[in-house]
Amino acid sequence: MTAPGLLSAWIRGRSPAPPPDLLSRIEALAARARGTTIPTDALLDAAATAMADVLRGGCLTRGTALDLLAVDALVTYAFEAAADDPEQLDARTESAMARIAGLAVPFDSR
């Protein structure tokens, strides 16, 4: 499922569709997801990787706005995918929160 084309097709199947520029950025970031076969994990991986890049860059300019919107969309889509397996939702939520919170740790000392 996480081959870029399949993940892209899954994203394009969501409704409502995001604006074209945002969709392009979401797909570009999702294409960087590592080799997991679980859509939720692939989407969260792409979001975490992109957010780490934004944080590393300082995220102080308008130029990061599209990336921040794309990260938000990827996390939203990850939980939409997670809803397909409700028995794992609590565990996935805890894992995602820990991973996202952990992104800020290296930047706390700034």
Contact between residue 39 and residue 2 where contact means Cβ atoms under 8 Å apart: yes
Whole-number pLDDT of residue 41: 85
Whole-number pLDDT of residue 35: 62
Whole-number pLDDT of residue 74: 94
Which mean pLDDT values do the consecutive 10-residue runs of the chain (110 residues) have?
Answer: 69 91 93 75 90 82 89 92 86 86 68
Residues, the chain: 110
Task: Please state whether the predicted TM-score (pTM) of the whole model is above 0.85.
Answer: no
Please report, for the chain, how many H helices and E strands are present, in that order: 5, 0
Structural domain boundaries of the chain?
Answer: 4-107
Whole-number pLDDT of residue 83: 87
Whole-number pLDDT of residue 109: 53
